Structure 1
Amino acid sequence: MKRERPHECTTARGRGRPRTGEEIDPGPLLEAALHAFADAGYEGMSVRALSRRLHISHALLIARYGSKEQLWFAAMEHALTEVERAWRAATDEGGHDDLTALRSGIVRQVLFAASYPQVVRIMNHEGAIDSPRIRFIVERFVDPLRPGVQALLDRLVTAGRIRALPYATLHFLITSAGSIQLAASVEARLLGADPLDTPDELQRHAETIADIILSGITTDPDNPPPGR
């Protein structure tokens, strides 16, 4: 019997109506699920407690998503689809300087973390555990984007504009460098970091992080990172 992929199961359930005939607005539910998983971890998060918080019957929630694991998949896909589109725009659209495209991707990644700091917190935990959840993230989001990002990096390396780095090294520089401050808000406050409350403040933060990363990997003084 063919084993159903996690995200395929989630998508199939998402298209149907709950068996009880009640309606669920998936947006607020999935946002609440992200917060719950970030706060309690996968093992500690209770679907029953989440249903009480949202005033939705536990049976209805299970009818829609099938299990806690499928709810996790659906919540993460809900969030990560946004940053997936951003990276595809950075790597697939022609007519842009490659270094400018890379900078745009980094900026959008940091802004995504500002919108979904709970995803950063979830990934900090899940990335250390071999489970169907981390494999879902890599197979559904990281691997499909990698060829386009790798081609962009290869062109920049060939042109002598950035140094060659292992893909994983650059992946973590981009996904963690400017994001962890947004996810670890208590620690950031205790360290005296200024709150990033407005779109302009977040944009400046994202651009600063992008410029710092690019300054560290660029090699051609005649072609400095965009924005400098």
Structure 2
Amino acid sequence: MVDGNRRAAKSPARGKYAPAQLDEGEILRRGLDTFAELGYAATTVRELARRLEVSHNFINDRYGSKDNFWRTVVDFAMRDDQDDFDHQLAKSGDDDEHLTGVIVQLYRRSANASAKNRLLADESTRDSDRLDYLHQRFIQPFWDSIEPAINNLIAVGRIPRVPPHVLYTAITGPALALAQAPVADRLNPTAAPVAQQDRNDMADTLSSLVLHGLLRPCGQ
């Protein structure tokens, strides 16, 4: 007869002492999906533990707090974005080509990262420390990187002279809307579901439409 203690020792740990069975990347991906789906306030440490299949004290033990975990998740989700935009801006070409390249890249990245888009869209409507974090680490650096090209294009009449926040909304708003697959499916019920469509093709169509409205033709 097998001793009960030996049976217990062979079973995977459960309950409040359960260790993490997922690698760090999967933990952060699941965290991102949860924050994007529920929003920060409705995402409890208990719910995170359930989705990560870990103990209820795992988040506090490893990351210190839910807020610190959120920041780690955001850093993970956006870690390569600005480097890629800077690389695009460093390529040879004029201001028109630089701005076009970044916008096309932004829309492609957004189309293929719906959870990140949903989180950004939600947090951008809330005056919070989390928005301060996003602004300081990601939003302002992105804007600073493209602002010289924008200012040059404004100076030569290619872009209308409007407040910066209006231009920011014109550029990033449609990119964030790429996460709105449910409403897109309702607006075009005869097409294949958005989830089955080529995300890059959808992003390129939208960026072309936005750029057509944003950039006046030369000489006008």
The TM-score normalised by the length of structure 2 is 0.80
Following superposition of structure 1 onto structure 2, how do residues 17-36 of structure 1 map, counting pairs within 5 Å?
25-36=23-34
Report the equivalent of 1:75.
Answer: 73
Cα pair distance change 1:52/1:118, threshold 3 Å: same
Report the equivalent of 1:123.
Answer: 120
What CA distance in whole angstroms lies between the structure 1 residues aligned with 2:117 and 2:74?
11
Quote the offset at 1:190 in angstroms: 1.4
What CA distance in whole angstroms lies between the structure 1 residues aligned with 2:86 and 2:60?
33
Quote the offset at 1:139 in angstroms: 0.7
| Partners of 1:83 and 1:108 within 8 A in 2 | no
Quote the offset at 1:143 in angstroms: 1.8
Letter matched to residue 37 of structure 1: F
Match of 2:186 among 166, 185, 190: 190
What percent identity do the matched residue pairs reach?
A: 27
State the Cα RMSD in Å.
Answer: 2.5
Match of 2:168 among 153, 168, 171: 171
Quote the offset at 1:222 in angstroms: 5.6
**1:176-220 Cα deviation digits (max 9, x unpaired):** 21431x322222111125434578x22222222222112112223
| Partners of 1:162 and 1:220 within 8 A in 2 | no
**1:8-50 Cα deviation digits (max 9, x unpaired):** xxxxxxxxxxxx9978622111111111112111111122222
What CA distance in whole angstroms lies between the structure 1 residues aligned with 2:118 and 2:83?
21
The answer to whether residue 129 in structure 2 is matched with residue 132 in structure 1 is: yes
What CA distance in whole angstroms lies between the structure 2 residues aligned with 1:130 and 1:21?
35
The answer to whether residue 142 in structure 2 is matched with residue 142 in structure 1 is: no
**Larger Rg, first or second structure (1 or 2):** 2
The TM-score normalised by the length of structure 1 is 0.77
Report the equivalent of 2:148.
Answer: 151
Quote the offset at 1:101 in angstroms: 1.7
**1:121-148 Cα deviation digits (max 9, x unpaired):** 2223222221110010001112223322
What CA distance in whole angstroms lies between the structure 2 residues aligned with 1:195 and 1:167?
35
Quote the offset at 1:171 in angstroms: 1.6
For residue 183 of structure 1, give the secondary structure of its aligned residue in structure 2.
coil
| Partners of 1:38 and 1:118 within 8 A in 2 | yes
| Partners of 1:38 and 1:119 within 8 A in 2 | yes
For residue 193 of structure 2, give the secondary structure of its aligned residue in structure 1.
coil
**1:71-100 Cα deviation digits (max 9, x unpaired):** 111111111223222322233x04123212
